[in-house]
Amino acid sequence: MKTIISTLLIVMLVGLAGIAQQESAGSPQSSLETAPQIPYRIIGTMSQLMVDVIYPTSDDIFYIVTRPPSNEAQWTAIQRSALTLAESANLLMMPGRARDQDKWMTDARLLLDAGNLAFKAAKAKDFDALVALNEQLVAACTTCHQDYRPNYRRRR
């Protein structure tokens, strides 16, 4: 039994060594080609993401008191906005968009958390929960703006 296992081990190790040798034999060009390709691309600028995606979708939640959803279609619109807003936090954390791997990620997570809660509340058609989330959502925007938005008024 013991010999079978050690024979298997040796066969495996020899196999692995062969693979390693093949890989190191490749030119720098071919190792670039075999490097995993990142399939996503940055399409919008930070400013476009804010103005066209984050601002209008968050507005739907900020102004829910003045525009309370009263039918199925309006609730569907709120759900869509909340989902878009929550997912936009993931877009902010994408490599290439994230400004750093530290405070930026913590700030973006505030939006992810608030957006996630908003989406849950919207799915449950819980008007009061959405109203109650306003403060948390505003805080998510202002925290990052104080840290990263140029010329943004700082809290005293």
Q: Which residues form the interface with ligand HEC (CB under 6 A)?
A: 46-47, 50-51, 54-55, 58, 92, 104, 107-108, 111, 137, 140-141, 144-145, 148-149
> Of the two residues 39 and 108, which places its CB atom closer to ligand HEC in the complex?
108
Q: SS3 letters for the chain?
A: CHHHHHHHHHHHHHHHHHHHHHHHHCCHHHHHHHCCCCCCCCCCCHHHHHHHHHHHHHHHHHCCCCCCCCCHHHHHHHHHHHHHHHHHHHHHCCCCCCCCCCHHHHHHHHHHHHHHHHHHHHHCCCHHHHHHHHHHHHHHHHHHHHHHCCCCCCCC
The nearest distance, CB 154 to ligand HEC, in angstroms, is 14
> Of the two residues 108 and 133, which places its CB atom closer to ligand HEC in the complex?
108
The nearest distance, CB 96 to ligand HEC, in angstroms, is 14
The nearest distance, CB 144 to ligand HEC, in angstroms, is 3
> Of the two residues 121 and 140, which places its CB atom closer to ligand HEC in the complex?
140
